[in-house]
Amino acid sequence: MGKQVKFIGLGVVVVILATLGGFKFFDRVENGNVGIRYAISGGVRDKALSQGIHFVGLDYVTQYPIKTQSIKQRVAVATSDGKKTDVKISYSYHVDPSKAVAIYKKFGSADIHAIETGWLAQKLQKASRESMAKFTLLEVVGTDSTKAQAGILKSFQQAAEPYGFVVEDLSFGTPSIDEQTQKSIDDIIKAGQDNKKAELEAKTKETQAKADADAKITAANAEAEANNKINASINDQTIAYMEAQARLKHGWVTVQTNDAMVDAKGN
């Protein structure tokens, strides 16, 4: 009986140890991450783990994010006309899963936030300076804003993607503006408003003149049509009828006899 109890107790211990060992030998990679395996024998394994549960033995697994991250950063730049400004830039990026291990090897134990505020911030700063230096400050806040933004995005992508950081999109706000540039902008806006007002007034006058001309043409056409109708309605019978009506109205008629025409007034 005592031996049986010992065997049962030993079996329970084995089951518990096996269960605990199973949890130790398996690891779960959360959604939106890959798992970077670090072997206790030394070194990072070459292949990252996808999301889900994996047998890892005694390896240590670090969760590495690959989902899209949204970053905001303010950068200081100088434009082609020598003016210094700063602008707030927003961009989205994600880590290429196939290059996650290479990123981990390059940056070591640095977490993704440290990379964003360090290495990525430097690359964005450099790309911004290169692009903004091609435009004046007035162009950046005006007609060439889209070109400047596209230039920053392209340069940033080219700098980051070879290392496994995929920049998806980028946008920037309004750069800080000095007084002289602000005055130039105000003058341009005022000139545009004045031009628009002048165009509107000219168009109004043109519309009114056209309306007056159309009204005169319509009246002339109506008068001509009325005259045509009157002319078309006059013939010998009409004239004779009108003459007879006039004579009756004024109290006299013309009588035709065999020898002569005699006018007689009626009483």
Residue that is last in its domain, among 64, 79, 105 = 64
Residues 56 and 95 in one domain: no
Q: Are residues 73 and 48 in the same domain?
A: no
Q: Is the pLDDT of residue 174 over 90?
A: no
Tens digit of pLDDT for each residue in 38-74? 888 778 888 989 889 998 888 889 898 999 999 999 9
- Kindly state whether residues 7 and 78 are assigned to the same domain: no
Report the alpha-carbon distance of residue 197 to residue 203 in Å, rounded: 10
Would the pTM of this model clear 0.85, i.e. be above it? Answer: no
* Residue in this structure with the two tokens 């065999």, named with its chain if needed: 258
User: Is 59 in the same domain as 29?
Assistant: yes
Per-residue tokens: 158: 């080219």
CATH number at residue 97: 3.30.479.30
Which pair of tokens denotes residue 107? Answer: 């940056």
Into how many domains does the chain fold?
3
* The pLDDT of residue 187: 60
Identify whether residues 94 and 162 lie together within a single domain. yes
Q: Are residues 166 and 95 in the same domain?
A: yes
**Same domain for 81 and 30:** no
Q: Which two structure tokens, joined as six digits, stand for 207?
A: 């519309």
Same domain as 35, residue 87: no
- Is the pLDDT reported for residue 156 higher than 80? yes
Name which of 132, 115, 128 is nearest 71 in CA terms.
115
Nearest-angstrom CA–CA distance, 87 and 57: 49
State the residue range of the domain holding 31.
Answer: 2-64
Given 163, 181, 199, the domain boundary residue is 181
Q: Cβ–Cβ contacts within 10 Å for residue 71, how many?
A: 17
Mean pLDDT of the chain: 78
Residue 244 covered by a domain: yes
* 153 and 175 both lie in a single domain: yes
- The answer to whether position 141 is within a domain reads yes
Is residue 255 situated within a structural domain? Answer: yes
- Please check whether residue 187 lies inside any domain of the structure: no
